[in-house]
Structure 1
């Protein structure tokens, strides 16, 4: 299953957490540059994780809109594997 992570810099702990929970294809967009807002969300994405610490606001709006159009769930989290794990525990249907 593909997950798109948008934002954040050092995300190795988040990638490890997602891999341990069944997400084997993990894509990361740093989303700091305005030019990144012209990227298209991959059709294969089944989950979007928006890391709010390091993110251009225009990119957050675009990704949220694109995900809604494709019916892909969006999670908002700080750049922290522990916070992401709390979100997953609260919404158990996201973990495989």
Structure 2
């Protein structure tokens, strides 16, 4: 795993450092705000998708989930905290 797409949250803060410690070298981020929701496309080269559920609406999550399924990419849903992300990564592995 080297590339991850994180959807949700205005800023990732220490989540970037945490994901780098987990082995992700390329971290792409989409805020999930209304202006970016219409054209959310999963970039090429992504190995996993992480959706921060407390910062996205249901329609965006559904759209991303559908795209991930079409491309056979693993997708994780969790709250915006390092401990929740760590738990999701363990359960998703």
- State whether TM-score is above 0.5: yes
Offset, 1:37: 2.8
Corresponding residue of 1:57 = 58
Corresponding residue of 2:13 = 12
Deviations, residues 9-60 of structure 1 (Å, cap 9, x unaligned): 2312221111001100000000111542323111211000000011122211
Q: Contact between 1:34 and 1:56, CA under 8 Å: does it hold in 2?
A: no
- Runs of 4 or more above 3 Å deviation: none
Offset, 1:88: 2.0
TM-score, scaled to structure 2: 0.88
Q: Distance in 1 between matches of 2:69 and 2:75?
A: 8
1:3 correspondence with 2:7: no
Aligned residues: 92
Q: Distance in 2 between matches of 1:57 and 1:87?
A: 19
Offset, 1:87: 1.8
Corresponding residue of 2:33 = 32
Q: Distance in 2 between matches of 1:35 and 1:28?
A: 11
TM-score, scaled to structure 1: 0.86
Corresponding residue of 1:82 = 83
Q: Contact between 2:40 and 2:64, CA under 8 Å: does it hold in 1?
A: no
Q: Distance in 1 between matches of 2:44 and 2:64?
A: 12
Q: Sort the Cα spacing of 1:83 and 1:35 in 2 relative to 1 into closer, same or farther, 3 A.
A: closer
RMSD: 1.4
